[in-house]
Amino acid sequence: MVKALRDEIILRKGYTGTEQIETIYFGGGTPSVLSADELGTLIHVITEHYPVSATAEITIEANPDDLNPQKVKELRQIPINRFSIGIQSFFEDDLIWMNRAHSASEAHSSIKRVQDAGFENITADLIYGYPLLSNEKWKFNIRELIELRIPHISSYSITVEPATALASFINKGKQKPMDEHQSALQFEILMDELEEAGFEHYEISNFARPGLHSKHNSNYWEGVNYLGIGPSAHSFNGETRQWNVADNMKYIQALEGNKIPFEIEHLTLENRINEYIMTAIRTSKGMDLNLVSQRFNSDTGLQIMQNLEPFLEKEWAVIKDQSVTLSKVGKLFADHIASALFVDFKQ
């Protein structure tokens, strides 16, 4: 697999043009199962074939149970400078219910271990909206990360994917369905707690101390080109979106023949506008109406404004300096608002 990844990195050179690489992100699946030497090799191949910024943000997603003392010590020897740790909860019952491999004590110790090794740029994930999570437990989880001095927090409402064990249990009545009201209330608690603690809510699911927004996440929401390497990885260069085959063996076999197994979609003007709306409206910067007119056309801006009117009246959205952002209540309906703003050239 590592050889296939190296080969794809080299073959994909040029997809995003000559732009300097500002972020490298090892995510999807569990990249922390790779050794530090393997991760270091991949970083070396990237820096050898791409123009990488000297101050690039290099993140690795990791499960707490992978961050043992030896692994953290080894990761200190390569250019990794940011950790994304999948904490999810500090309660044992919740972790068992989620089928997580780590324990509550490992959730704590993994963070302390990474901090003690000298890593300061850390983000932790929390999940809310599931039946076991009372509002008191939810506040405890949030406050634990604040007390642990985590500078960046990503938090998501649990989703029930089709064809999963959880979906099956719900369908058979063995598990309560998720409660949308509970999820909305816990999202409001999340916003209140982190705002009071001095965090900036810079994207619907992301909160950070001032100056510590994720460069990688921010670039994605701002429509910067990106290159994805590996099975299932997605790439975007402003004009096309492509994604690799999900099957590991098919991926490896294709790369052994110097071929990249991918599908591609050529984005229409309508696609590009709606993707901009979908990502920009989720951020604290908001959707720039001037940019819409400049990048697309003035008619597009007018159509968006017409679609926006009901949400301005409800005070779910506000316009300031030609930028559309969501109010606190509006953030509860972000996906609905984004889809309502989409333009349709067939109308």
What's the pLDDT tens digit per position in 37-50?
Answer: 999 999 999 999 99
Residue-wise pLDDT for 144-153, tens only, equals: 999 999 999 9
How would residue 178 be classed by pLDDT, with cut points 50, 70 and 90? low
How would residue 28 be classed by pLDDT, with cut points 50, 70 and 90? confident
Q: Which two tokens stand for residue 248?
A: 């590991």
Task: Give the separation between CA 152 and CA 206, rounded to whole angstroms.
Answer: 7
Res 161 pLDDT > 90: no
Res 347 pLDDT > 60: no
For residue 20, the 8-state DSSP code is P
Can you give the residue ranges of every domain in the chain?
20-221, 272-341
Q: Give the per-residue pLDDT at 160.
A: 62
Task: Output the CA–CA distances (angstroms, integers) from residue 42 to 24, 63, 290, in the order listed.
Answer: 10, 20, 40
Do the domains 20-221 and 272-341 sit in the same CATH topology, yes or no?
no
Res 284 pLDDT > 80: yes
Residue-wise pLDDT for 63-104, tens only, equals: 999 999 999 999 999 999 999 999 999 999 999 988 899 999
Res 326 pLDDT > 60: yes
In CATH, what number does 20-221 get?
A: 3.30.750.200
For the segment(s) 272-341, the CATH number from 1.10.10.920, 3.20.20.100, 3.30.420.10, 3.40.640.10 is 1.10.10.920
Average pLDDT rounded to a whole number, residues 10-14:
91
